[in-house]
Amino acid sequence: METMLNLIIAAFSLLISSFGILAGAQGIGINYGLLGDNLPSPDKVVGLLNSRNIKLVRLFDPNPIVLTALHNSGIEVILGTLNNDLERLANDPTFANTWVQNNVIPHVQAGTSFRYITAGNEVIPGNLAGFVLSAMQNLDTALTDAKLNIPVSTAISTGVLGVSFPPSQGAFSEASSVDMTGIVGFLASKKTPLLVNVYPYFAYANQPKDVRLDYALFTANGTVVVDGALNYANLFDAIVDAMYSALEKAGHPDVSVVVSETGWPSAGDAIGATVENGMTYNNNAVAHVTSSAGTPRRPGNAIETYIFAMFNEDLKPVGVEQNFGLYHPDMTEVYHVNFP
């Protein structure tokens, strides 16, 4: 009787967690990276997240200590696979099953809710691109076999676009088209969003003579870009809508976009990388995506968005890459961001 009761409790826990992603409203989250040798312990980070009412977090790999710290925290998790695991996940369904058994099921049973599993980060186009769809399919099968309703997607950069301006002309590049067509077909069949990393900062930093700073920071006073009947006052919306245009041209206007990364560096000896600009961008981004304004091409909907990143990470390449954090490793703020 006791064994049967334990099985029922475990099954109920799995069921509740599997439906957690359906209950969670779209909102604002944060990327929690670990490329630092002086970062606080995960339990302290989880406490900080809850103190700021941040209930969505994205992890780049299944670190068991971090996942354990998230047990019963009330924080939903996007869990990524390592890019180096994509080939095995694609070619070996048994490995995909083991990955789920080791990295998902024990934490679901312990009270962690997974919002999405992502197969790889920013590998399209590239040598690993051809493994992404099969990895997604094998992970999805493994989750289904485990009776878990957790969507599987991938996170891409805007490097998949061959055309991004004007937004209505957005289209996947020749190098990305075959892989992206298969991926978005799978996502459409599962009613799962595509995760996209959106960085107005890099567009501005790469072309400061052509991209206005106020347009990148959400501070422009009125329309900056006119695209047919649509008017754009910020670059974030233009980038997201270019991706929607690409999805439409690929035959899948029904696939939605989740912004898996966006942010602005506060330092790094590079153009525009200042504390003031970082604070301005991230506060305006949070206000915009939680306002239900949507984008000109997809108005009226909040945009599920994850700020990059939680901490400044000193093991990243020297420069702006080390300075996207909202917090220093001692958990003091680099600058304040108003989370809802």
Distance of alpha carbon 115 from alpha carbon 284, whole angstroms: 25
The active-site residue, picked from 2, 76, 87, 122, is 122
The active-site residue, picked from 261, 276, 313, 321, is 261
Distance of alpha carbon 263 from alpha carbon 202, whole angstroms: 10
> Token pair for residue 309?
């990143």
> Token pair for residue 207?
């072309």
Distance of alpha carbon 16 from alpha carbon 19, whole angstroms: 5
* Residue 122 known to be catalytic: yes
> Token pair for residue 232?
């754009």
Distance of alpha carbon 248 from alpha carbon 131, whole angstroms: 23
* Residue 87 known to be catalytic: no
Catalytic machinery residues: 122, 261
